[in-house]
A and B are shown apart, each in its own frame.
Chain A
């Protein structure tokens, strides 16, 4: 069986290598992706429209805001699905697992984590808030924030992390993130624009229409960050203990 499956693998591999020859050179200005009117429009208009220096953030949170909103919803649903499957499972998998390990947390590890976690969390806030200007944004900041809670759970045990971020709060925060995102979109609709047309927020904010888009993007990124933080930690908490939320790895 392994020998037979090797044939399609080789055929597809040769086809892919043959097709890879047609790819444009890296950085070629006449490549289809660079030559399209869309990318030149973004390059010339992003700074004028939104005053955001980082074009990637502007495209993600403003021009394609609808897309990013439902990406966040997908993350939320993934967390919900894991909870729905694992919650209250006595588990056919749990036989070959011993939960009796109640060793003291290691002194060096816990003290290092105690020093590191505040730095990581401040860095995640920086990544989130500075995402307009430098690389970063809601997803990355949220993941770094979630990782800091996972680090606590890894070095002590899950209960210690759950005291700081209980699971029911996790899902509250995750839903709050999506509501914040959708709420900013809805607010701009009520102010006379279209859904997620942030420029209309200039009617209630004391800034220009361009800066309104700039600030609304920050609000939207905060929403994404909240959802991703909570779901990443909830995923780890459920997967590492099969939904029992007791004991460490």
Chain B
């Protein structure tokens, strides 16, 4: 029961993070929300027992790709026109 509640909460937060990342105008905010999304995926994978995948997601998805995205966005216009 507790595990199911945990799963449901993570999945709901995933949907919220995905929608926020698409709707928000500021690209820097969007990339940070992407990091949140990656970290939630990492939690989900760790909970399902795929620890290797979770580790990769935490380092590459939430770590390096956020840094690279922020580094790129700071060299571009901050606002999305969409």
Q: In terms of DSSP, what is the predominant structure of the interface of chain B?
A: helix
In contact, B75 and A242 (Cβ under 8 angstroms):
yes
Q: How many A-B residue pairs have CB under 8 A?
A: 54
Given contacts A139-B56, A143-B59, A147-B64, contact A96 B77 (CB under 8 A): yes
> Is A137 positioned at the interface, with any CB of B under 8 Å from its CB?
yes
Q: How far is the CA of A242 from the CA of B68 in the complex (A)?
A: 12
Chain A hits for B54, CB < 8 A: 135
B4 to chain A, nearest CB (A): 11
**Which of A103-111, A176-184, A233-241 forms contacts with chain B?**
A233-241
CB contact under 8 A between A147 and B63, given known A93-B76, A139-B56, A235-B68: yes
Min CB distance B8 to A, Å, is 13
Please indicate the chain B residues that have their CB under 8 angstroms from the CB of A235 in the complex.
Answer: 68
Kindly identify, within residues 25 to 80 of chain B, every residue whose CB is under 8 Å from any CB belonging to chain A: 48, 51-52, 54-56, 59-60, 63-64, 67-68, 70-72, 74-77
Q: How large is the interface on B (under 10, 10 to 19, 20 to 34, 35 or more residues)?
A: 10 to 19
Known: A97-B75, A143-B63. A239 touches B68 (CB 8 A): yes
Cα distance, A139 to B75, chains bound together (Å) = 28
Cβ-based interface call for A65 (8 A): no
- Residue of B with least CB distance to A144: B59
| Residue in A26, A140, A236 whose CB lies within 8 Å of B59 | A140
Point out residues on A near B: beta carbons under 8 Å.
26, 54, 56-57, 93-94, 96-97, 127, 135-137, 139-140, 143-144, 146-147, 150, 154, 232, 235-236, 239-240, 242, 249
Show 7 residue pairs from A and B whose CB-CB distance is below 8 angstroms, ordered by the A residue. A54-B52, A56-B52, A57-B52, A135-B52, A140-B59, A236-B67, A249-B71
